[in-house]
Amino acid sequence: PDYSTYLLLRFVTGFSTGGVGLCSFVLATEPVGPTKRGVAGMSTFYFFSTGIALLSGIAYIFPSWRALYVASSIPSILFLVLVVPFISESPRWYLVRGKMNEAMKIMRTIANANGHHLPDGVSLALDDEANDASNGNQIWKAATVEKEAISGSIVDVIRSPITRIRLFLAVGINFTCSVVYYGLSLNVVNLETNLYLTVLLNAVAEMPAFTITAVLLDKFGRKPLAIGTQWFSAIFCFMGSLTGNVGISKVIRMCCGLLGIFGMAGTYNLLFIYTAELFPTVVRNAALGCATQAAQMGAILAPFVVILGGGFPFLVFGVCGLIGGMLASYLPETLNKPLYDTMTGLEEGELA
């Protein structure tokens, strides 16, 4: 009925749903072995782009913001009823908290679903150097595991020199990447084309980026792709800043925007996998949460860049993509590296 109530409800909506995608991604990738983790992680983002594409159609059907609000709330209800009851906890989360029985129960369920059998008397290791899912098998080395709960927080991330540098770099890259990703999505208002069609095309342009990135991810590694996709986006953003918005130039600028979001979509989703592999299980959610928060700050800044109009937004997006690629060059490669569960395991593994 009034703006204050609307503002409050928008805050509650963002507060309650903001972490759903993050937790879903972690739950989807933690049980997967290192050789398939990249492909599995990238595959989850097809649904994100599909949601954006569907949203453009829903917005076209329901032009009133009140009706659109109701229509876009229905998926959350379906999520609570059709998805949440069937989600199991991550076995890694159980492990680091000393809940061996619960972890073994889930691993046996996974093994049975894959047509395999987890031998009796085998305990789970806290790190997955021997965990490989290349043939659908989960190979767990026999190990004696402490049954004491291991916890961690963002303070532990900052305290460790290894993870502290990684966190600062991840925060910076996520911020610049988000400015470009959301900025290009919102910049459709400056292109003076059909709003619904352009949003749909942006969503569709993201999907080939996921496929190409997933194919190249295990061939070239996380670091080269993180650099290359951001600089690819930056090149076309710079080109868009030099292009006019009249006649054929309008089409060229729209194509520059599509190619820009194509490159940045690959980066944006690659960063989830990359960031998750940079930190151990005990602090993974905390580190990903910081990176995601930085991305949200970039998303907040993006509209202020867009309203400047003309070619200036493209120029800012190009600079952000260039800086993001430079920051990514300082990160370590994580291809085929174990997904560590403890800070000690990470430090010993990296210093070995």
* Within-domain flag for 136: no
- How far is residue 146's CA from residue 127's CA, in Å, rounded to a whole number? 13
Q: In this model, does residue 238 exceed pLDDT 80?
A: yes
- The DSSP line for 2-53 is -HHHHHHHHHHHHHHHTTHHHHHHHHHHTTS-HHHHHHHHHHTTHHHHHHHH
260 and 120 part of one domain: no
Contact between 91 and 108 under an 8 Å Cβ cutoff? The reply is no
Mean per-residue pLDDT over the chain, rounded: 82
The Cβ-side half-sphere exposure at 322, using a 13 Å CA radius, reads 10
- Classify burial at 165, counting beta carbons within 10 Å of its beta carbon; exposed 0-12, middle 13-18, buried 19 or more: middle
CB < 8 Å & 24+ apart, contacts of 144-147: 145/95, 145/100, 146/98, 147/98, 147/100
pTM for the structure as a whole: 0.72
State mean pLDDT over 184-210: 77
Specify which of 21-35, 193-207, 227-241 reaches the highest per-range mean pLDDT. Answer: 227-241
* Within-domain flag for 341: yes
Q: Who's near 47: CB < 8 A, 6+ residues apart?
A: none
199 and 94 part of one domain: no
* Within-domain flag for 234: yes
Instruction: Choose the final residue of a domain: 74, 106, 126.
Output: 126
Question: With DSSP H G I counted as helix, E B as strand and the rest as coil, what are the percentages for the chain, rounded to 5?
Answer: 75, 0, 25
Range of 117's domain? 88-126
Q: How many CB atoms lie within 10 A of CB 249?
A: 12
* Amino acid identity for residue 75 in this structure: P
DSSP reduced 3-state for 119: coil
297 and 224 part of one domain: yes
Residue showing tokens 């925007």: 257
pLDDT for res 345: 83
Q: Of the given ranges (20-29, 107-116, 278-287, 304-313), which has the lowest mean pLDDT? A: 20-29
* Within-domain flag for 29: no
State mean pLDDT over 208-212: 82
Q: In this model, does residue 145 exceed pLDDT 50?
A: no
Instruction: Choose the final residue of a domain: 126, 142, 173.
Output: 126
High-pLDDT (> 70) share of the chain, %: 89
335 and 238 part of one domain: yes
pLDDT for res 180: 93
Q: Quick one: how far is CA 157 from the chain centroid? A: 19
* Within-domain flag for 149: no
Report how far apart, in Å, the C-alpha atoms of 150 and of each of 65, 104, 282, 328, 343 are.
Answer: 47, 17, 7, 30, 10
pLDDT tens digits for 94-142? 887 778 888 888 888 888 888 888 776 665 554 444 344 333 444 334 3
Q: What CATH number is attached to the domain comprising 172?
A: 1.20.1250.20
122 and 180 part of one domain: no
